[in-house]
Amino acid sequence: MTAALLGTARRTPSGIPAGREAPTALLDAAAVETVRRRAGMRPGRAAARVEPAAADPRPPLPPAAARRLAMLLADRPGTGGGSGGRRGSAPDLMELLPQWLTTANRRGFAPRPESLPALLDAARGRTDLRPAVLAFAGPRALWLARLNADWRFALRSTPGGGAALPGPEEPDRIRELWEEGLFAERVALLSGIRARDAAAARDLLATTWATERAEDRLMFLDSLRTGLCAADEPFLERALADRSRNVRATAAELLSALPGSALAGRMAERAVSCVAVDHTQSTPTIAVEAPHECDPGMERDGVVPNAPAGRGERSWWLGQLVEAAPLDTWSRRLGGRTPEEIVALPVADDWQSELHAAWCRAAVRQRDPSWSRALLGVPAAPEAGGPGAVSLAERAKLLGTLGAAERADWVAGFIAVHGLSEAFQLLGVCTVPWSGPLGRAVVDALNIARDAGSYPWSFSGVMGLAERCLDPSEAPHLETLTAIPDEPENAAPGAGGYWAESFQRLVTTLRLRAAMQRELTEE
């Protein structure tokens, strides 16, 4: 080794003649020494062979769909947009990956093995992709994740770390895993049992409830949201006396979602004592007398006594009582009126915003579409927040309680009257692909904004939503919008080119989505 480093002209090992042949002789000697050392080595103990990945019984992706997936995964963004928000006319392929995965999972396809590393890398960088990626990647992805620390998130994100959870015919394994398993395994076990047998899950939780840590009790209690029913009430009533405030608050929230529960009845009794119709006015008016104290009974039932900064205590307590009271309480209390009639009543002494906001929260919690409709009002209502909702965020939550078609029609009506400047949050709760009326309302509003010379970049968020949510069949109708329009005098500089570019990207993206659907649905 020393001779090789110094060179045979400076140093020649013994047994090797100096001269022009010395380098070759040195290499020959090294080769002989290597063979000799290898021949004299004792074999080490063979490592255990890696267990093969579990078989994936699903049919493989069609060739065209497999090529499309490789294309989508290869478009991983490397740098942020450094062009002031201008994206050009090329589609953003990574934003189409979630839809591709949804369709592939619905069709029950399995990925080709060579695509698994790129799928896991994509899910590693985007947590929103993980559920769909792991469902599509299947058991082989979990096998790979055990061999690469960068992909361990797949094990944490999969119930039981990818191991099969015991079934109802294995009570001993269930008991062992519940008492000795890791926290994530226990959560997965409880959730799995709850999905198939609500009572069995509740009984299992009760066996160790008193000895669990407060933060664990909170997570376990949250699993009871699945299949919540009247039979859960005794357990939840006991949880109202828990030493953890967060556990008590969650138990109270779950009980208030059961309209027939004792807690809902107690909250209704408190709420109706604060709200009544005043018939002494020329027009029937709702009168409000907020609570003067938060007594121990209220606190036990989940009312938080300390108001946030900037909120009055009495209004804070009132809002919590009204939110937790069953909504059918108010028709009986307020003269048999319908939700629309109740919401339309004037409210005395500036209590309207507080009362209506609490009804909004109750409608969302109790998933009551009739109250949601009343609080939303008609889309063309001039009020910025509608008759009952006081913010777009509340309107979006109320829309979530309605059916997909009704939700889309309401948002389409809102856009037709108010435009797109306030519609982004509302569009986010609409089912994809958008219905025909909703899609046309969005395109018409974008076209109006373009013709008016509006600042184009302020609509980039809605345009991005349209690329992902507009029905691909709308692509031919958008061709005329890809031309650069004549710009009004007051238009933003370069706005026409930006709009043409954006509509070109929209059309190209819709056609690409249509091709993706064909590749995944054609036999």
Alpha-helical (H) ranges within 228-261 are: 233-239, 245-256
In 3D space, the residue among 188, 214, 301 whose CA is nearest the CA of residue 204 turns out to be: 188
Spatial distance between the Cα atoms of 406 and 430, rounded to a whole number of angstroms? 10
Token duo for residue 147: 């061999």
What integer is the mean pLDDT of 491-497? 73
For residues 499 and 431, state if they share a domain: yes
pLDDT value at residue 380 = 82
Token duo for residue 12: 């020649």
Give how far the C-alpha of residue 422 lies from the chain's centroid of Cα atoms, to the nearest Å: 22
For residues 449 and 501, state if they share a domain: yes
Interacting residues of 63 by C-beta distance below 8 A, sequence separation 6+? none
> Is 67 contained in some domain?
no
Look at the pTM and tell me if it is higher than 0.85: no
In 3D space, the residue among 82, 115, 89 whose CA is nearest the CA of residue 101 turns out to be: 115
Interacting residues of 398 by C-beta distance below 8 A, sequence separation 6+? 360, 363, 364, 372, 375, 376, 389
The model's pLDDT over 195-217, given as tens digits with 9 standing for 90+, comes to 899 999 999 999 999 999 999 99
Residue 275 parent element (H or E): strand 275-278
With 0-12 / 13-18 / 19 or more C-beta atoms within 10 angstroms meaning exposed / middle / buried, residue 283 is: exposed
pLDDT band for position 45 (50/70/90)?
confident
For residues 485 and 365, state if they share a domain: no
> Is 68 contained in some domain?
no
Spatial distance between the Cα atoms of 399 and 426, rounded to a whole number of angstroms? 8
> Is 123 contained in some domain?
no
Is 504's pLDDT higher than 50? Answer: yes
> Is 112 contained in some domain?
no
Q: At what angle do helices 369-376 and 352-365 cross, to 10 degrees?
A: 150
Residue that terminates a domain, selected from 348, 376, 404: 376
Domain that holds residue 234: 171-257
> Is 187 contained in some domain?
yes
For residues 454 and 516, state if they share a domain: yes
Question: In degrees rounded to 5, what are phi and psi of residue 354?
Answer: -65, -45
For residues 420 and 340, state if they share a domain: no
Token duo for residue 494: 């370069």
pLDDT value at residue 87 = 59
3-class DSSP assignment, residue 347: strand
147 DSSP assignment: T
For residues 405 and 419, state if they share a domain: yes
pLDDT value at residue 293 = 96
When mean pLDDT is compared across 72-86, 265-279, 301-315, 491-505, the lowest value belongs to 72-86
For residues 302 and 409, state if they share a domain: no
For residues 244 and 330, state if they share a domain: no
3-class DSSP assignment, residue 287: strand
Q: For the chain, what percent of residues have pLDDT higher than 90?
A: 63
For residues 405 and 460, state if they share a domain: yes
3-class DSSP assignment, residue 339: helix
Spatial distance between the Cα atoms of 473 and 511, rounded to a whole number of angstroms? 8
The CA distances from residue 63 to 207, 290, 458, in Å, are 52, 66, 40
CA gyration radius, the chain: 33
Q: Which residue has the higher pLDDT, 274 or 191?
A: 274
Count: domains in the chain: 3
The CA angle 393-396-402, to the nearest 5 degrees, is 155
Residue that terminates a domain, selected from 310, 343, 376: 376
pLDDT value at residue 77 = 55
> Is 418 contained in some domain?
yes
Interacting residues of 345 by C-beta distance below 8 A, sequence separation 6+? 277, 284, 285, 286, 334, 337
For residues 316 and 253, state if they share a domain: no
pLDDT band for position 88 (50/70/90)?
low
> Is 60 contained in some domain?
no
pLDDT value at residue 168 = 84
Q: How many residues does the chain have?
A: 523
For residues 446 and 354, state if they share a domain: no
For residues 508 and 412, state if they share a domain: yes
Token duo for residue 265: 């009845």
> Is 289 contained in some domain?
yes
The mean pLDDT of the chain is 89
Other beta carbons within 10 Å of 360: 26
Q: For the chain, what percent of residues have pLDDT higher than 70?
A: 92
The model's pLDDT over 465-488, given as tens digits with 9 standing for 90+, comes to 999 999 999 998 888 888 887 766
The model's pLDDT over 361-418, given as tens digits with 9 standing for 90+, comes to 999 999 999 999 999 998 887 654 556 666 888 899 999 999 999 999 999 999 999 8
Spatial distance between the Cα atoms of 189 and 63, rounded to a whole number of angstroms? 37
Is 84's pLDDT higher than 60? Answer: no
Spatial distance between the Cα atoms of 149 and 60, rounded to a whole number of angstroms? 27
The model's pLDDT over 215-261, given as tens digits with 9 standing for 90+, comes to 999 999 999 999 999 999 999 999 999 999 899 999 999 998 898 99
